[in-house]
Structure 1
């Protein structure tokens, strides 16, 4: 069986006088199916077991039509095989509503 779980929290108004800004904290964990692992072993391929991601972001409302959202993610066992090192992902999303 294949299982994936995720959860997240959003918090508004962390900074005084910034009621529309959002702090987000999220996590996901996944386990690949034993049938997939068996097929990968039979084909002499690396087996995928599990992977996980944790994320934090903050959406700053510059104006009612412009937001800037920096994001940081920790990715553990990318691709589920353990052959790819854990990694840190940094990103920024800018949104302009017309």
Structure 2
């Protein structure tokens, strides 16, 4: 996210307004952000821990929102609203529901 420091208050206000609208629309599931003060670790099946994330993956930072949207077109529209509020592109992914969860 690249926004001038003097716009960060407005970014927070605007992005939270979109999240409130998503809650009011009944499509909000949950959201949050990556705590960048806590470095990632890789945990193996035997319980051993290695510092750092996947070596091939770019760093993951920022936040995310999980919305339950009936169509891809509506999901794109919500992502566009968040992009406008956050002043940066938003990556849109489809979450695969696991019926065992």
Q: Which interval holds the TM-score relative to the shorter structure? A: under 0.3
TM-score, normalisation: structure 1: 0.27
